[in-house]
Structures are given as C-alpha cells and as structure tokens.
Structure 1
Amino acid sequence: PIEYVIGHYEYNLFRGTPLWKETDSAYRTEKTDPGISFMRRIREKIKDLDIKGAPAHK
C-alpha cells in the first residue's frame, strides 16, 4: 500500500530518518516540483486515505 505522498521538493526532509537511503553523497539536488500549492490540493483530495507526507522541517 502507499504510505507516503510527497512532492519532489520535500525528499530532503527525510534525511536522518529510516526511509533515507543515500548511495552518492555528492548527488543532492534542490527540487521545486510539483510545487507547494499543487501538493496542498492533492493532500486535500486524499486526506481521507490517511497517507503520510514529509516529516516536519527541522
């Protein structure tokens, strides 16, 4: 089952969690897609599915 739905721009928030797997520490990019407002709309539409998002920003 799907447990998480995140925007590409949120993937770095998983650093330091058990879900983070880094095979090349030199490859870390800053992403902006698909955008905060798009993700808000998606999360609103799927809120009844209890799918997790990215961890809170530290």
Structure 2
Amino acid sequence: PKLVITEQPKQRGMRFRYECEGRSAGSILGESSTDAGKTLPAIELLNCQGIPEVKVTAC
C-alpha cells in the first residue's frame, strides 16, 4: 500500500487547542482553502486490498 497526501494542512492554519475548548475551536483547513470555500486535509490510500483503515495521530 502507498499513502499519498492529496491536500496538505494550511500553513499556520492550526494552533494549539486546550481540551476544554472541545470541537468549537475550529477545524484544520486544507492549503487551498479560501474565504469563498473551505477544504480539508486529505489522503489517498493506493494499492490496498479490503477495507482501508487509517488511524491519524498528532505528535
């Protein structure tokens, strides 16, 4: 299998969030987001047999 990032996160679009902020802190936008339309970071999993499952973690 091969993982391809098709939409990178927007530079400086992400900030530190406190746990108490919950989901209301906003989402991580994709690099081609504009005021007219939002995009999200995206990946594509190639050459994968069966149901693909991806676990995303942040360091």
Shorter-chain TM band? under 0.3
Q: Kindly indicate which of the two structures has a greater share of residues assigned to strand.
A: 2
Q: Kindly indicate which of the two structures has a greater share of residues assigned to helix.
A: 1
Structure showing greater Rg: 2
What is the TM-score with the length of structure 2 in the denominator?
A: 0.21
Where relative contact order (Cα < 8 A, 6+ residues apart) is larger, the structure is 1
